[in-house]
Amino acid sequence: MQRRTKPLIWIVAALAVFVTALWQQRAEYAPEKQVPHASVPASVEAQKWARVQEVVPAGEREELLATLELIDRGGPYPYKKDGSTFSNREAQLPVQARGYYREYTVRTPGSPDRGARRVVQGRNGDTWYTSDHYKTFVRIDTHEER
């Protein structure tokens, strides 16, 4: 009976080493959590929230603010594509180098999929909102619109 347990111990030990190595590799290649507004003064953040109240319809604000909070915290995001590169193929936002913009889903109640609402954020914190799947954008971090 001891002969059967020794190989089992080695298998369990090898599995533990393998899982540990995978976990370390995952941590090494995981994207850094970005808190794009950490260095921005609170007054600027207050202006952004005021901007949301000003330009986004009341029925969309709650979900948009929840998504902005997730972005500020660095996740976790509910959709697999959240945080992925937004390529600006529609050319609705200022032209930037590839990888500059990231997109995040704004939940649409009642939608069976991701819906049409998105937040697109630039590396420098410039933040845009679209409720019509990239046809039009409203800039929500300043008083500029597009």
For residue 133, indicate whether it is catalytic. yes
Q: Choose, from 54, 133, 144, 145, the residue flagged as catalytic.
A: 133
Cβ contacts of residue 61 below 8 Å, gap of 6+?
A: 52, 53
Residue type, 78: P
Pair 17, 105: CB distance under 8 Å: no
Considering only CA atoms, which of 130, 96, 98, 126 is closest in space to residue 36?
126
Please tell me whether the peptide bond between 109 and the residue prior to it is cis, using omega within 30 degrees of 0: no
> Which of the residues are catalytic?
103, 133
